[in-house]
Amino acid sequence: MVSAASPSSPDGRRVALLTLGCARNEVDSEELAARLHADGWQVTTDGEGADVVLVNTCGFVEKAKQDSIQTLLAAADTGAKVVAAGCMAERYGRELADSLPEAQAVLGFDDYPEISDRLRAVVAGEQVAAHTPRDRRELLPLTPVSRRSSPVVVPGHGGVDEHTPAHLRTVLRRRLDSGPVASLKLASGCDRRCAFCAIPAFRGAFVSRTPDELLAEAEWLAKTGVRELVLVSENSTSYGKDLGDPRLLEKLLPQLAAIDGIVRVRASYLQPAETRPGLVEAIATTPGVAPYFDLSFQHSSEPVLRRMRRFGSTPRFLELLGAARALAPEAGARSNFIVGFPGETRADVDELVRFLTDARLDAIGVFDYSDEDGTEAASLPGKVPAATIKRRYDKISALADELCSQRAEERLGTTVEVLVDSVDDGIVEGRAAHQAPEVDGSTTLVAPPTGGVDLAALRPGDLVRATVTGTEGVDLLAVPEEMLSAAPTVRR
Protein backbone atom coordinates (compact mmCIF):
# COMPACT_ATOMS: atom_id res chain seq x y z
CA MET A 1 0.00 0.00 0.00
CA VAL A 2 1.38 3.38 -0.98
CA SER A 3 0.74 6.17 1.51
CA ALA A 4 -0.17 9.75 0.75
CA ALA A 5 2.51 11.51 -1.27
CA SER A 6 5.26 13.53 0.38
CA PRO A 7 5.82 17.15 -0.63
CA SER A 8 7.96 17.47 -3.74
CA SER A 9 8.79 21.17 -3.68
CA PRO A 10 8.46 22.73 -0.22
CA ASP A 11 8.04 26.48 -0.46
CA GLY A 12 7.30 27.27 3.17
CA ARG A 13 3.78 28.51 2.49
CA ARG A 14 1.21 27.63 5.10
CA VAL A 15 -2.49 26.96 4.48
CA ALA A 16 -5.08 26.54 7.21
CA LEU A 17 -7.91 24.25 6.16
CA LEU A 18 -11.15 24.83 8.07
CA THR A 19 -14.05 22.43 7.52
CA LEU A 20 -17.74 23.09 8.14
CA GLY A 21 -20.73 20.81 7.71
CA CYS A 22 -20.93 17.06 7.41
CA ALA A 23 -18.47 14.18 7.47
CA ARG A 24 -18.50 14.10 3.66
CA ASN A 25 -16.98 17.58 3.70
CA GLU A 26 -14.30 16.35 6.09
CA VAL A 27 -13.26 13.68 3.59
CA ASP A 28 -13.15 16.30 0.82
CA SER A 29 -10.93 18.49 3.01
CA GLU A 30 -8.50 15.61 3.49
CA GLU A 31 -8.29 15.19 -0.29
CA LEU A 32 -7.50 18.91 -0.59
CA ALA A 33 -4.93 18.56 2.20
CA ALA A 34 -3.21 15.71 0.35
CA ARG A 35 -3.04 17.68 -2.90
CA LEU A 36 -1.61 20.72 -1.14
CA HIS A 37 0.86 18.76 0.99
CA ALA A 38 2.14 16.90 -2.06
CA ASP A 39 2.79 20.24 -3.74
CA GLY A 40 4.82 21.69 -0.90
CA TRP A 41 2.27 23.44 1.29
CA GLN A 42 2.36 23.18 5.07
CA VAL A 43 -1.21 22.18 5.91
CA THR A 44 -2.77 22.92 9.28
CA THR A 45 -6.20 23.35 10.85
CA ASP A 46 -5.09 26.41 12.81
CA GLY A 47 -5.43 29.79 11.10
CA GLU A 48 -2.75 31.43 13.24
CA GLY A 49 0.18 32.47 11.05
CA ALA A 50 -1.29 31.02 7.85
CA ASP A 51 -0.68 32.60 4.47
CA VAL A 52 -4.07 31.37 3.26
CA VAL A 53 -7.17 30.22 5.12
CA LEU A 54 -9.14 27.78 2.95
CA VAL A 55 -12.69 27.35 4.25
CA ASN A 56 -14.56 24.27 3.10
CA THR A 57 -18.07 25.68 3.45
CA CYS A 58 -21.47 24.06 3.99
CA GLY A 59 -24.46 25.13 1.89
CA PHE A 60 -27.15 22.79 3.17
CA VAL A 61 -29.56 25.03 5.11
CA GLU A 62 -29.69 28.69 6.11
CA LYS A 63 -28.00 28.23 9.49
CA ALA A 64 -25.14 26.30 7.90
CA LYS A 65 -24.69 29.02 5.31
CA GLN A 66 -24.58 31.69 8.00
CA ASP A 67 -21.97 29.68 9.91
CA SER A 68 -19.90 29.52 6.74
CA ILE A 69 -20.13 33.29 6.22
CA GLN A 70 -19.14 33.98 9.83
CA THR A 71 -16.14 31.63 9.53
CA LEU A 72 -14.99 33.36 6.35
CA LEU A 73 -15.31 36.79 7.97
CA ALA A 74 -13.42 35.63 11.08
CA ALA A 75 -10.67 34.21 8.86
CA ALA A 76 -10.34 37.57 7.11
CA ASP A 77 -9.73 39.21 10.49
CA THR A 78 -6.51 37.18 10.88
CA GLY A 79 -4.88 39.10 8.03
CA ALA A 80 -4.45 35.96 5.91
CA LYS A 81 -5.76 35.57 2.40
CA VAL A 82 -9.19 33.90 2.51
CA VAL A 83 -10.52 31.37 0.01
CA ALA A 84 -13.99 29.81 0.03
CA ALA A 85 -14.47 26.28 -1.29
CA GLY A 86 -16.99 23.53 -0.62
CA CYS A 87 -20.73 23.31 -1.04
CA MET A 88 -21.72 26.92 -0.46
CA ALA A 89 -19.00 28.13 -2.81
CA GLU A 90 -20.05 25.60 -5.44
CA ARG A 91 -23.73 26.46 -5.02
CA TYR A 92 -23.44 30.26 -5.30
CA GLY A 93 -20.13 30.96 -7.06
CA ARG A 94 -20.01 34.49 -8.43
CA GLU A 95 -22.97 35.59 -6.28
CA LEU A 96 -21.02 34.69 -3.13
CA ALA A 97 -17.88 36.36 -4.44
CA ASP A 98 -19.74 39.59 -5.15
CA SER A 99 -21.38 39.67 -1.72
CA LEU A 100 -18.23 38.71 0.21
CA PRO A 101 -15.28 40.88 -0.86
CA GLU A 102 -13.38 39.65 2.22
CA ALA A 103 -12.73 36.40 0.33
CA GLN A 104 -9.95 36.65 -2.26
CA ALA A 105 -11.38 33.67 -4.19
CA VAL A 106 -14.49 31.50 -4.38
CA LEU A 107 -13.64 28.08 -5.80
CA GLY A 108 -15.87 25.36 -7.19
CA PHE A 109 -15.35 21.61 -7.23
CA ASP A 110 -13.77 21.83 -10.70
CA ASP A 111 -10.89 23.78 -9.11
CA TYR A 112 -9.95 20.96 -6.70
CA PRO A 113 -7.42 19.17 -8.97
CA GLU A 114 -5.55 22.50 -9.35
CA ILE A 115 -6.06 23.70 -5.79
CA SER A 116 -2.35 24.43 -5.27
CA ASP A 117 -2.18 26.62 -8.36
CA ARG A 118 -5.31 28.49 -7.28
CA LEU A 119 -3.88 29.24 -3.83
CA ARG A 120 -0.51 30.27 -5.25
CA ALA A 121 -2.33 32.75 -7.48
CA VAL A 122 -4.20 34.12 -4.47
CA VAL A 123 -0.97 34.55 -2.48
CA ALA A 124 0.59 36.32 -5.47
CA GLY A 125 -2.31 38.76 -5.55
CA GLU A 126 -3.69 37.52 -8.83
CA GLN A 127 -7.40 37.64 -9.61
CA VAL A 128 -9.06 34.19 -9.52
CA ALA A 129 -12.40 34.20 -11.27
CA ALA A 130 -15.34 32.72 -9.39
CA HIS A 131 -17.22 30.03 -11.27
CA THR A 132 -20.77 30.23 -12.58
CA PRO A 133 -22.93 27.68 -10.72
CA ARG A 134 -24.65 24.98 -12.73
CA ASP A 135 -26.76 21.94 -12.02
CA ARG A 136 -24.07 19.28 -11.60
CA ARG A 137 -26.61 16.51 -12.19
CA GLU A 138 -26.53 17.47 -15.86
CA LEU A 139 -22.77 16.87 -16.12
CA LEU A 140 -23.06 13.09 -15.79
CA PRO A 141 -24.94 10.60 -17.98
CA LEU A 142 -28.52 9.90 -16.99
CA THR A 143 -27.86 6.16 -16.86
CA PRO A 144 -25.91 5.36 -13.65
CA VAL A 145 -23.78 2.60 -15.18
CA SER A 146 -22.46 5.05 -17.79
CA ARG A 147 -21.02 7.49 -15.25
CA ARG A 148 -17.70 5.78 -14.45
CA SER A 149 -16.04 6.96 -17.67
CA SER A 150 -17.05 10.60 -17.22
CA PRO A 151 -14.21 13.10 -16.54
CA VAL A 152 -16.38 15.22 -14.22
CA VAL A 153 -14.64 16.24 -10.97
CA VAL A 154 -16.25 14.53 -7.96
CA PRO A 155 -14.83 15.64 -4.58
CA GLY A 156 -13.52 12.76 -2.50
CA HIS A 157 -13.01 10.60 -5.60
CA GLY A 158 -9.79 12.21 -6.78
CA GLY A 159 -6.62 10.56 -7.95
CA VAL A 160 -8.15 7.43 -9.41
CA ASP A 161 -5.70 5.72 -11.76
CA GLU A 162 -7.67 2.94 -13.38
CA HIS A 163 -4.53 1.47 -14.95
CA THR A 164 -2.93 0.74 -11.55
CA PRO A 165 -4.40 -1.77 -9.06
CA ALA A 166 -6.06 0.04 -6.17
CA HIS A 167 -3.73 -1.43 -3.55
CA LEU A 168 -0.73 0.11 -5.37
CA ARG A 169 -2.17 3.59 -5.90
CA THR A 170 -1.27 6.60 -3.83
CA VAL A 171 -4.11 7.36 -1.43
CA LEU A 172 -5.10 10.93 -2.18
CA ARG A 173 -5.87 11.77 1.41
CA ARG A 174 -4.01 13.38 4.30
CA ARG A 175 -5.58 13.07 7.74
CA LEU A 176 -6.32 16.31 9.53
CA ASP A 177 -7.32 14.52 12.73
CA SER A 178 -5.32 11.82 14.50
CA GLY A 179 -8.31 10.33 16.33
CA PRO A 180 -9.33 6.66 16.14
CA VAL A 181 -12.37 7.33 13.91
CA ALA A 182 -12.43 8.30 10.24
CA SER A 183 -15.08 8.64 7.58
CA LEU A 184 -14.83 6.64 4.37
CA LYS A 185 -16.76 8.06 1.44
CA LEU A 186 -18.73 5.37 -0.38
CA ALA A 187 -20.15 7.63 -3.06
CA SER A 188 -21.07 11.18 -3.93
CA GLY A 189 -24.22 12.82 -5.23
CA CYS A 190 -27.82 11.70 -5.20
CA ASP A 191 -30.41 10.67 -7.78
CA ARG A 192 -33.40 11.23 -5.51
CA ARG A 193 -35.59 14.31 -5.94
CA CYS A 194 -36.74 15.17 -2.43
CA ALA A 195 -38.74 18.38 -2.65
CA PHE A 196 -36.92 20.11 0.22
CA CYS A 197 -33.32 19.27 -0.74
CA ALA A 198 -30.95 21.27 -2.93
CA ILE A 199 -27.94 18.98 -2.45
CA PRO A 200 -28.21 17.00 -5.73
CA ALA A 201 -28.09 20.21 -7.76
CA PHE A 202 -24.65 21.19 -6.46
CA ARG A 203 -23.28 17.76 -5.50
CA GLY A 204 -24.39 16.11 -8.73
CA ALA A 205 -25.75 12.72 -9.70
CA PHE A 206 -24.91 9.58 -7.75
CA VAL A 207 -21.46 8.06 -8.33
CA SER A 208 -20.06 5.09 -6.36
CA ARG A 209 -16.42 4.43 -5.62
CA THR A 210 -15.26 0.92 -6.50
CA PRO A 211 -14.86 -1.69 -3.74
CA ASP A 212 -11.14 -2.13 -4.40
CA GLU A 213 -10.57 1.61 -4.05
CA LEU A 214 -12.54 1.70 -0.78
CA LEU A 215 -10.74 -1.32 0.65
CA ALA A 216 -7.34 0.14 -0.23
CA GLU A 217 -8.18 3.45 1.46
CA ALA A 218 -9.61 1.64 4.48
CA GLU A 219 -6.37 -0.33 4.86
CA TRP A 220 -4.37 2.90 4.64
CA LEU A 221 -6.60 4.51 7.29
CA ALA A 222 -6.11 1.49 9.57
CA LYS A 223 -2.35 1.89 9.29
CA THR A 224 -2.67 5.50 10.49
CA GLY A 225 -4.40 4.29 13.65
CA VAL A 226 -8.05 4.38 12.62
CA ARG A 227 -10.14 1.84 14.51
CA GLU A 228 -13.66 2.75 13.39
CA LEU A 229 -14.75 3.45 9.82
CA VAL A 230 -17.88 5.53 9.29
CA LEU A 231 -19.26 4.97 5.80
CA VAL A 232 -20.67 8.21 4.41
CA SER A 233 -22.36 9.44 1.25
CA GLU A 234 -25.50 11.33 0.31
CA ASN A 235 -27.32 7.99 0.03
CA SER A 236 -25.46 4.87 1.11
CA THR A 237 -28.28 2.49 0.20
CA SER A 238 -27.75 3.34 -3.49
CA TYR A 239 -24.14 2.18 -3.32
CA GLY A 240 -23.23 -0.10 -6.21
CA LYS A 241 -26.22 0.59 -8.46
CA ASP A 242 -23.95 2.35 -10.98
CA LEU A 243 -21.45 -0.52 -10.71
CA GLY A 244 -24.06 -3.06 -11.74
CA ASP A 245 -24.70 -4.52 -8.28
CA PRO A 246 -27.23 -2.80 -5.98
CA ARG A 247 -26.34 -5.30 -3.22
CA LEU A 248 -22.69 -4.32 -3.19
CA LEU A 249 -22.80 -2.69 0.25
CA GLU A 250 -23.94 -5.97 1.81
CA LYS A 251 -20.85 -7.63 0.33
CA LEU A 252 -18.49 -4.78 1.21
CA LEU A 253 -19.34 -4.56 4.92
CA PRO A 254 -17.73 -7.86 6.01
CA GLN A 255 -14.66 -7.12 3.87
CA LEU A 256 -14.14 -3.78 5.59
CA ALA A 257 -14.73 -5.31 9.02
CA ALA A 258 -12.03 -7.93 8.32
CA ILE A 259 -9.27 -5.33 7.78
CA ASP A 260 -6.50 -5.67 10.33
CA GLY A 261 -6.83 -3.00 13.00
CA ILE A 262 -10.45 -2.07 12.27
CA VAL A 263 -12.74 -3.02 15.15
CA ARG A 264 -15.96 -1.30 14.04
CA VAL A 265 -17.59 -0.35 10.74
CA ARG A 266 -20.60 1.93 10.81
CA ALA A 267 -22.93 2.59 7.88
CA SER A 268 -24.73 5.93 7.75
CA TYR A 269 -27.13 7.87 5.52
CA LEU A 270 -29.57 5.05 4.79
CA GLN A 271 -32.74 5.75 2.79
CA PRO A 272 -35.66 3.76 4.28
CA ALA A 273 -37.23 3.12 0.87
CA GLU A 274 -33.99 1.50 -0.35
CA THR A 275 -33.05 -0.41 2.81
CA ARG A 276 -33.49 -4.00 1.66
CA PRO A 277 -33.88 -6.99 4.01
CA GLY A 278 -30.43 -8.26 3.00
CA LEU A 279 -28.80 -4.99 3.98
CA VAL A 280 -30.67 -4.94 7.30
CA GLU A 281 -29.37 -8.44 7.99
CA ALA A 282 -25.80 -7.52 7.02
CA ILE A 283 -25.76 -4.49 9.33
CA ALA A 284 -27.46 -6.30 12.20
CA THR A 285 -25.50 -9.55 12.17
CA THR A 286 -22.04 -9.06 10.60
CA PRO A 287 -19.26 -9.29 13.23
CA GLY A 288 -17.39 -6.01 13.43
CA VAL A 289 -20.25 -4.02 11.90
CA ALA A 290 -22.17 -1.78 14.30
CA PRO A 291 -25.84 -2.78 14.53
CA TYR A 292 -26.73 0.83 13.88
CA PHE A 293 -29.41 2.22 11.59
CA ASP A 294 -29.08 5.85 10.53
CA LEU A 295 -32.38 6.09 8.67
CA SER A 296 -33.53 9.24 6.90
CA PHE A 297 -37.24 9.22 7.78
CA GLN A 298 -37.85 13.04 7.67
CA HIS A 299 -41.52 12.56 8.69
CA SER A 300 -43.98 9.70 9.18
CA SER A 301 -47.25 11.12 7.88
CA GLU A 302 -47.95 9.73 4.41
CA PRO A 303 -49.44 12.96 3.01
CA VAL A 304 -46.39 14.96 4.10
CA LEU A 305 -43.97 12.33 2.80
CA ARG A 306 -45.68 12.30 -0.60
CA ARG A 307 -45.40 16.09 -0.86
CA MET A 308 -41.74 15.70 0.06
CA ARG A 309 -41.49 13.17 -2.82
CA ARG A 310 -40.57 10.44 -0.39
CA PHE A 311 -42.06 7.08 0.48
CA GLY A 312 -43.11 5.42 3.70
CA SER A 313 -45.50 5.73 6.60
CA THR A 314 -45.64 5.13 10.34
CA PRO A 315 -46.47 1.39 9.95
CA ARG A 316 -43.77 0.83 7.30
CA PHE A 317 -41.10 2.61 9.29
CA LEU A 318 -41.99 0.74 12.48
CA GLU A 319 -41.86 -2.51 10.53
CA LEU A 320 -38.36 -1.67 9.29
CA LEU A 321 -37.15 -0.89 12.82
CA GLY A 322 -38.80 -4.07 14.08
CA ALA A 323 -37.00 -6.16 11.46
CA ALA A 324 -33.66 -4.75 12.57
CA ARG A 325 -34.35 -5.33 16.26
CA ALA A 326 -35.57 -8.86 15.63
CA LEU A 327 -32.04 -9.62 14.38
CA ALA A 328 -30.21 -7.41 16.90
CA PRO A 329 -32.33 -6.40 19.91
CA GLU A 330 -29.66 -3.94 21.04
CA ALA A 331 -29.50 -2.20 17.64
CA GLY A 332 -29.21 1.56 17.66
CA ALA A 333 -31.37 3.77 15.46
CA ARG A 334 -31.43 7.48 14.72
CA SER A 335 -33.17 9.79 12.29
CA ASN A 336 -33.90 13.40 11.37
CA PHE A 337 -37.30 15.01 10.97
CA ILE A 338 -38.62 18.20 9.40
CA VAL A 339 -41.57 20.03 10.97
CA GLY A 340 -43.57 22.73 9.25
CA PHE A 341 -43.26 21.42 5.69
CA PRO A 342 -45.79 23.10 3.35
CA GLY A 343 -49.23 21.61 3.86
CA GLU A 344 -48.42 19.98 7.20
CA THR A 345 -51.54 19.82 9.42
CA ARG A 346 -52.15 19.18 13.09
CA ALA A 347 -53.12 15.63 12.16
CA ASP A 348 -49.76 15.18 10.44
CA VAL A 349 -47.95 16.38 13.57
CA ASP A 350 -50.03 13.99 15.69
CA GLU A 351 -48.99 11.15 13.38
CA LEU A 352 -45.34 12.11 13.79
CA VAL A 353 -45.77 12.14 17.57
CA ARG A 354 -47.29 8.65 17.36
CA PHE A 355 -44.37 7.36 15.36
CA LEU A 356 -41.70 8.90 17.56
CA THR A 357 -43.37 7.53 20.67
CA ASP A 358 -43.41 3.99 19.28
CA ALA A 359 -40.07 4.03 17.42
CA ARG A 360 -37.70 4.04 20.44
CA LEU A 361 -34.99 5.92 18.57
CA ASP A 362 -31.65 6.52 20.27
CA ALA A 363 -31.13 9.93 18.67
CA ILE A 364 -33.53 12.32 16.96
CA GLY A 365 -32.64 15.43 15.00
CA VAL A 366 -35.41 17.98 14.50
CA PHE A 367 -35.32 20.73 11.87
CA ASP A 368 -37.76 23.56 11.34
CA TYR A 369 -38.67 23.91 7.68
CA SER A 370 -37.41 26.87 5.68
CA ASP A 371 -37.51 27.49 1.93
CA GLU A 372 -34.28 26.64 0.13
CA ASP A 373 -33.23 28.21 -3.16
CA GLY A 374 -33.92 26.04 -6.16
CA THR A 375 -36.06 23.44 -4.42
CA GLU A 376 -39.56 22.36 -5.39
CA ALA A 377 -40.80 22.92 -1.84
CA ALA A 378 -39.98 26.62 -2.02
CA SER A 379 -42.81 27.08 -4.56
CA LEU A 380 -45.35 24.76 -2.93
CA PRO A 381 -48.64 26.21 -1.63
CA GLY A 382 -49.83 25.75 1.92
CA LYS A 383 -46.93 27.43 3.68
CA VAL A 384 -47.14 26.97 7.44
CA PRO A 385 -46.89 30.27 9.36
CA ALA A 386 -43.51 30.86 11.02
CA ALA A 387 -45.04 31.08 14.50
CA THR A 388 -46.76 27.73 13.98
CA ILE A 389 -43.54 26.13 12.75
CA LYS A 390 -41.76 27.35 15.87
CA ARG A 391 -44.43 25.92 18.17
CA ARG A 392 -44.29 22.57 16.39
CA TYR A 393 -40.51 22.58 16.42
CA ASP A 394 -40.43 23.29 20.15
CA LYS A 395 -43.01 20.58 20.81
CA ILE A 396 -41.28 17.87 18.76
CA SER A 397 -37.82 18.84 20.05
CA ALA A 398 -38.96 18.55 23.67
CA LEU A 399 -40.61 15.21 22.93
CA ALA A 400 -37.45 13.99 21.16
CA ASP A 401 -35.28 14.87 24.17
CA GLU A 402 -37.63 13.03 26.51
CA LEU A 403 -37.93 9.95 24.33
CA CYS A 404 -34.18 9.67 23.70
CA SER A 405 -33.50 9.96 27.43
CA GLN A 406 -35.99 7.17 28.05
CA ARG A 407 -34.32 5.04 25.39
CA ALA A 408 -30.95 5.57 27.06
CA GLU A 409 -32.44 4.48 30.38
CA GLU A 410 -33.57 1.22 28.73
CA ARG A 411 -29.88 0.40 28.34
CA LEU A 412 -29.21 0.49 32.10
CA GLY A 413 -27.67 -2.80 33.18
CA THR A 414 -26.89 -3.88 29.63
CA THR A 415 -23.45 -4.63 28.22
CA VAL A 416 -22.04 -2.37 25.51
CA GLU A 417 -18.81 -2.30 23.52
CA VAL A 418 -17.19 1.11 23.90
CA LEU A 419 -14.53 2.51 21.60
CA VAL A 420 -12.44 5.03 23.54
CA ASP A 421 -12.30 8.37 21.73
CA SER A 422 -10.43 10.54 24.22
CA VAL A 423 -8.64 10.48 27.58
CA ASP A 424 -8.44 13.94 29.13
CA ASP A 425 -7.50 14.70 32.76
CA GLY A 426 -8.61 11.25 33.84
CA ILE A 427 -11.95 11.44 32.00
CA VAL A 428 -12.30 8.56 29.56
CA GLU A 429 -14.94 9.13 26.92
CA GLY A 430 -16.00 6.89 24.09
CA ARG A 431 -19.00 5.58 22.20
CA ALA A 432 -21.03 2.42 22.23
CA ALA A 433 -22.11 0.79 18.98
CA HIS A 434 -25.38 2.77 18.93
CA GLN A 435 -23.55 6.10 19.20
CA ALA A 436 -22.13 7.65 16.04
CA PRO A 437 -19.43 10.31 16.34
CA GLU A 438 -20.60 13.78 17.39
CA VAL A 439 -24.34 13.30 16.80
CA ASP A 440 -25.61 10.52 19.06
CA GLY A 441 -24.20 11.15 22.51
CA SER A 442 -21.29 9.39 24.19
CA THR A 443 -20.33 6.96 26.93
CA THR A 444 -18.14 8.02 29.86
CA LEU A 445 -16.24 5.16 31.45
CA VAL A 446 -16.14 5.17 35.25
CA ALA A 447 -13.91 3.19 37.58
CA PRO A 448 -15.21 -0.20 38.71
CA PRO A 449 -15.60 -0.79 42.46
CA THR A 450 -13.11 -3.64 42.25
CA GLY A 451 -11.23 -5.41 39.47
CA GLY A 452 -12.24 -4.72 35.88
CA VAL A 453 -10.22 -2.55 33.54
CA ASP A 454 -7.79 0.06 34.85
CA LEU A 455 -9.09 3.42 33.63
CA ALA A 456 -5.63 4.98 33.89
CA ALA A 457 -4.30 2.48 31.35
CA LEU A 458 -6.88 3.20 28.64
CA ARG A 459 -5.93 4.99 25.41
CA PRO A 460 -7.88 6.36 22.43
CA GLY A 461 -8.66 3.46 20.13
CA ASP A 462 -9.09 0.85 22.87
CA LEU A 463 -12.26 -1.23 22.60
CA VAL A 464 -13.71 -2.39 25.92
CA ARG A 465 -16.77 -4.26 27.08
CA ALA A 466 -18.64 -2.26 29.71
CA THR A 467 -21.80 -2.38 31.80
CA VAL A 468 -24.12 0.64 31.70
CA THR A 469 -24.62 2.03 35.19
CA GLY A 470 -26.11 5.47 34.59
CA THR A 471 -27.47 7.96 32.05
CA GLU A 472 -27.39 11.70 31.50
CA GLY A 473 -29.87 12.45 28.73
CA VAL A 474 -28.67 10.42 25.74
CA ASP A 475 -25.23 9.94 27.28
CA LEU A 476 -24.27 6.81 29.20
CA LEU A 477 -22.04 6.05 32.17
CA ALA A 478 -20.49 2.60 32.08
CA VAL A 479 -18.02 0.49 34.02
CA PRO A 480 -15.38 -1.21 31.82
CA GLU A 481 -15.26 -4.93 32.51
CA GLU A 482 -12.92 -6.33 29.83
CA MET A 483 -10.42 -5.14 27.24
CA LEU A 484 -11.57 -6.49 23.88
CA SER A 485 -8.93 -4.94 21.63
CA ALA A 486 -6.11 -2.62 22.65
CA ALA A 487 -5.18 0.20 20.30
CA PRO A 488 -1.94 -0.54 18.46
CA THR A 489 1.05 1.76 18.66
CA VAL A 490 1.21 3.70 15.40
CA ARG A 491 4.38 5.27 14.05
CA ARG A 492 3.69 8.77 12.78
* Residues of each annotated binding site: 22, 58, 87, 190, 194, 197
Q: How would you write 179-191 as a 3-class SS string? A: CCEEEEECEECCC
Cα gap 416→410, rounded to integer Å: 13
Annotate 126-137 with b (16+ C-beta within 10 A) or e (fewer): eebebbebeebb
User: In this structure, what are the phi and psi dihedrals at residue 12, rounded to the nearest 5 degrees?
Assistant: 80, -5
DSSP letter string over 51-94? SEEEEEE--SSHHHHHHHHHHHHHHHTTTSEEEEEHHHHHHHTH
Q: What is the rounded CA–CA span in Å between residue 195 and residue 199?
A: 11
- What's the CA gap between 486 and 477, in Å, rounded? 20
The amino acid present at 266, given as its one-letter code, is: R
- Which among 214, 299, 294 has a CA at the least distance from the CA of 253? 214
Strand pairing category for 415-424 and 463-472: antiparallel
For the annotated binding site for [4Fe-4S] cluster, the residues are: 22, 58, 87, 190, 194, 197
- In 253-354 the beta strands, taken as DSSP E runs, fall at 264-267, 292-294, 332-339
